[in-house]
Amino acid sequence: MRDFVQFSGVQKTYDGESLVIKDLNLDIAKGEFVTLLGPSGSGKSTALMLLAGFEQPTSGTIRLGGRTLNSVAPHDRNIGMVFQNYALFPHMTVAENIGYPLRVRKMAKPEIAERVKRALDFVQLGRFADRYPRQMSGGQQQRVAVARALVFDPALVLMDEPLGALDKKLREEMQVEIKHIHGRLGITMVFVTHDQDEALTMSDRIAVFNDGRIQQIDAPAALYERPANQFVAGFLGDTNMLPGEVAGEEAGALVVALKDGGRVRATAVDTLSRGAGTLVSVRPERLAVNPAPETPDQMPATLVETIYHGATARMIFRLGGGTTVAAQLRAGSPLLALEPGAAARLAFGQSDGRAFALS
Ligand code: ADP
Ligand code: MG
């Protein structure tokens, strides 16, 4: 079922004036892992709150499993939730915390005990049943929160920046763990983050939010390879932006006269007529440094500095007109021996340069 979760024409204002959700249309399939990714204030949490039922849409409808949710109370929606600040109850043990949603649902005691045990084993915290949250690490507490969200077999689980408070290593471990849990249970997951790596790692599809709208929704690789606009190109992964003007077309490629001098061929994303201003977006790892001499469309550049990142290195160049671009190379590349100030040539393939209209 493609439309297990369905937002149709949803708008939301808190103050009656500005719409923080402008026109949200989003279909999520049963079993899908969809991430809402976007900068702070873009409306991600509001979208989740609407789905959870803690906020009401100003207009539009939200459906879950075909049922309109607008008038269904939060506790009747059968939705599990993990929030960054959705703390555990400090006065309850781990087992009591996990059993809480079951007690609220007036489940019989033996069944609660059985389910809590299963949930604890599931997140590998079987030995911690009688501990209090303060006696556990941040990552363990978050696993308890995950168990508590799953224990009543919800149809849908919502997670709002659940890993934000954890350090990098633990965060990455939990990302994999949550992804595995999703795979094993086959639940539908809507996950919110502002961290692009997290979104790329975890999701079946990513909805990129900005300014109360979904800018693009697609599978991680498709979003990265074919961003639909400047915002998505810049937000998801690093990108270089080369300013220029459309000089014409040639064998299906857009020919762009760069502000920094020279011409390049690129793939037009927007409709662009001759003479129109454009920005050509190129990923750092798609920029070839000192390619074979016969390579077309080379851009002369000067090396500014090289920054080491362990497995990769970033070379920062300045083009003729002053535009700065970054190229990413593997550690060990002989090109990394270039000294700052050295002259170099840069080039990219036509399909790796994506030309956007100026916005
Ligand atoms: P995100 O989760 O992407 O950071 P939010 O959905 O929290 O974004 O917020 C979107 C906008 O709505 C922001 O401008 C925020 O200040 C505003 N907002 C969020 N919650 C409320 C609220 N309860 N009352 C008023 N304004 C709010
Ligand atoms: Mg938020």
pLDDT value of position 25: 97
Which CATH number characterizes residue 145's domain? 3.40.50.300
222 & 252 share domain: no
What spacing in Å lies between the alpha carbon of 43 and ligand 2's midpoint?
A: 7
How many structural domains are present in the chain? Answer: 2
* Same-domain check for residues 150 and 258: no
| pLDDT tier for residue 85 given thresholds of 50, 70 and 90 | low
pLDDT at 269: 94
Spacing, Cα 183 to ligand 1 middle (Å): 31
Quote the ligand 2 centre to 291 CA distance (angstroms).
44
- What pLDDT shows up at residue 171? 86
Amino acid at residue number 117: K
Residues 208, 293, single domain; the answer is: no
Question: Could you report the per-residue pLDDT of 307-334, keeping only the tens digit for each?
Answer: 999 999 999 999 999 999 999 999 999 9
| 72 and 221 within one domain | yes
Confidence at residue 1, expressed as pLDDT on a 0 to 100 scale:
59
Looking at residues 10-24, what average pLDDT do you find? 96
Instruction: Give the ligand 1 atom nearest the CA of 39.
Output: 3
Q: 303-322 burial, b if ≥16 CB within 10 A, otherwise e? A: beebeeeeeebbbbbebeee
The reply to whether ligand 1 has any atom less than 6 angstroms from the CB of 85 is: no
Domain span at residue 242? 238-357
The DSSP result for 215-238, as a single string, is EEEE-HHHHHHS-SSHHHHHHSS-
Q: Rounded CA gap, 152 and 148, in Å? A: 8
Q: How far is CA 88 from the centre of its chain?
A: 26
Q: Based on the domain organization, do 70 and 218 belong to the same domain?
A: yes
Nearest ligand, measured from the Cα of 209: 1
The pLDDT value recorded for residue 84 is: 76
Q: Which of 189, 228, 185, 226 is nearest to 210 (CA)?
A: 228
Q: Using CA atoms, how far apart are residues 301 and 2, in angstroms rounded to an integer?
A: 49
Residues 118 and 145 in one domain: yes
Q: Is the pLDDT of residue 86 over 60?
A: no
Q: Are 129 and 115 in contact (CB under 8 A)?
A: no
Instruction: Please indicate, yes or no, whether residues 177 and 119 belong to a single structural domain of this protein.
Output: yes
Same domain (yes/no): 17, 121: yes
291 and 180, same structural domain?
A: no
For residue 291, pLDDT over 90 is answered with yes
Average pLDDT rounded to a whole number, residues 74-92: 84
**Which residue would you say has higher pLDDT here, 169 or 312?**
312
148, β-bridge pairs: none
Write down which residue in 189, 211, 233 finishes a domain.
Answer: 233
Identify whether residues 90 and 167 lie together within a single domain: yes
From 32-36, 79-83, 191-195, 324-328, the region with the lowest mean pLDDT: 79-83
Q: Which residues pair with 242 in a beta bridge?
A: 280
Which domain CATH number covers 245? Answer: 2.40.50.100
DSSP for 234-253? HHSS--EEEEEEEEEEETTE
* Domain identity same for 175 and 258: no
C-alpha closest to that of 207 among 25, 17, 8, 55: 25
Mutational test site, ligand 1, from 11, 14, 208, 210, max ligand atoms within 8 Å of CB: 14
Of 339 and 3, the one with more pLDDT: 339
Question: What's the chain's average pLDDT?
Answer: 93
Which of 210, 233, 256 terminates a domain? The answer is 233
User: pTM of the entire structure?
Assistant: 0.90
Question: Comparing C-alpha atoms, which of 1, 17, 16, 84 is closest to residue 48?
Answer: 84
Q: Is the pLDDT of residue 143 over 70?
A: yes
Query: Of 359, 350, 351, 322, whose CA–CA distance to 232 is shortest?
Result: 359
Q: Where are the alpha helices (DSSP H) in the chain?
A: 44-52, 94-104, 109-122, 138-150, 168-185, 196-202, 220-225, 230-235
- 203 in the same domain as 152: yes
141 CB less than 6 Å from ligand 1? Answer: no
Of the residues 209, 233, 257, which one is the last residue of a structural domain? 233
